[in-house]
Amino acid sequence: MIRTIIEIDRDKCNGCGACAHACHEGAIGMVDGKAVLLRDDYCDGLGDCLPACPTGAIRFVQREAAAYDAAAVLAKKAAALKGSAPVQGGGCPGSRSQILHPAQAPAISTEDTSGPVSALSQWPVQLKLLPVEAPFYDGASLLVAADCSAFSRADFHARFMAGRITAIGCPKLDEGDYTEKLTEILRRNAIRDVLVVRMEVPCCGGIERAVRTAVAQCGKDLPLQVVTLGRDGHILEA
């Protein structure tokens, strides 16, 4: 059928991920650092993504396309939540949930001659693999960090991860949007507060927007702090 649908100009796209965040149907994803229309039948043609694009890379076109399939969109969202790593047993061993340390993870040790002690208190850490519900969330502070941020500072574990549950992601490279899953994590668990650590680059805005939206939608009054790091690791904003 001929219908209205979006078209993304790859040359104009700067990979910020804002359109993927704005698309509630999950029709847009990030592939090789660029926004891509993943499936025609996920696009409702309403254009929530258009005003979100800072470079004007998205426009409406009339072309042959599959009809919008609301049922498929709902099924995809449900599958994404069900696909979260289980709390115990089953699934891929690499994504199986584990509590690694007590809730108050140690900071860098000055006595361990084998090297600094990791402050990672749970597994997995990747946002796509984290379960929606798990015991390690109870009473925890949540750190949501951009992938690159941990490599910018040698003291990242001690300064940001110690005593927190860690979730990492990259809105420029990961397909889809984190907002819905983060909202459910915050809604279903007794999380005390949220810290976002991001880089100064534009694409990191996607992870901050996802967290801010999730905090606003979760139905709880959660303290939120955002720390922005420069490429050299200096704290630019906190």
pLDDT per position as a tens digit, 39-51: 999 998 888 788 8
Strand ranges for the chain from DSSP E: 2-8, 28-31, 34-37, 58-64, 98-99, 122-123, 141-146, 164-169, 193-199, 224-229, 235-237
List of domains in the chain: 2-74 (3.30.70.20), 92-237 (3.40.1360)
Q: Indicate whether 21 pLDDT > 50.
A: yes
pLDDT digits (tens, 9 = 90+) for 133-149: 888 998 999 999 999 99
- Is the pLDDT at 191 greater than 90? The verdict is yes
Q: Contact 2/188 with Cβ under 8 angstroms?
A: no
Mean pLDDT of 89-105: 54
Best-predicted range by mean pLDDT (77-86, 103-112, 134-143): 134-143
**For range 172-181, the mean pLDDT:** 81
Indicate the pTM of the whole model: 0.61
Report d(CA 15, CA 206) in Å as an integer.
10
